[in-house]
Amino acid sequence: MIAWLRRVEGVTSLEFAFVLGPLLLLLMGTVEVGEVVWTQNVLNYSVEEAARCGAIDTTICGTPGQIQAYASSAAGSGISATYVASTQSCGSDVAANYTAAISAPFLNFSIPLSAHACYPK
């Protein structure tokens, strides 16, 4: 048999090269999913706080526009969601919609996220 076929010096490097691609995809996918979960948590928090503000503190959150601005500030600067505030039978009602973009190698798509909260007056 040919002598270079029996050599095993570079086998570990070759195995690592085969595993590196799927490992990086798994790592980047985990980071992207974590970011989407974090964004959903921020949306939930911001609509809950804005609905509570609309029901309790009418000096800061007296109009739907003020409630929407409060929700946007509660979310922080990283999220530009669409907020809708209204008065329903349940009390101060706030809803948010946001489209999260997932971008990984060979995968580019968006996930619609939404949150809703109603705080009794």
What does the DSSP assignment read for 22-42?
HHHHHHHHHHHHHHHHHHHHH
Q: Is the pTM of this model over 0.85?
A: no
The answer to whether residue 106 scores a pLDDT higher than 80 is: no
In the prediction, which pLDDT does 77 show? 75
pLDDT tens-digit readout, 14-50:
899 999 989 988 898 899 889 999 999 999 999 999 9
Q: Which residue has the higher pLDDT, 5 or 63?
A: 63
Contact between 118 and 86 under an 8 Å Cβ cutoff? The reply is no
Q: Tell me how far apart the alpha carbons of residues 119 and 84 are, in angstroms, rounded to a whole number.
A: 14
Contact between 108 and 97 under an 8 Å Cβ cutoff? The reply is no
The answer to whether residue 108 scores a pLDDT higher than 90 is: no
- Binning pLDDT at 50, 70 and 90, where does residue 121 land? confident
Q: Which two tokens stand for residue 10?
A: 């570079």
> Rounded mean pLDDT of 103-112?
82
pLDDT tens-digit readout, 50-71:
999 999 988 999 899 999 999 9
In the prediction, which pLDDT does 83 show? 93
- Binning pLDDT at 50, 70 and 90, where does residue 7 land? confident
In the prediction, which pLDDT does 96 show? 95
Return all residues near 102 (Cβ < 8 A) that are at least 6 apart: 32, 36, 108, 109, 110, 111
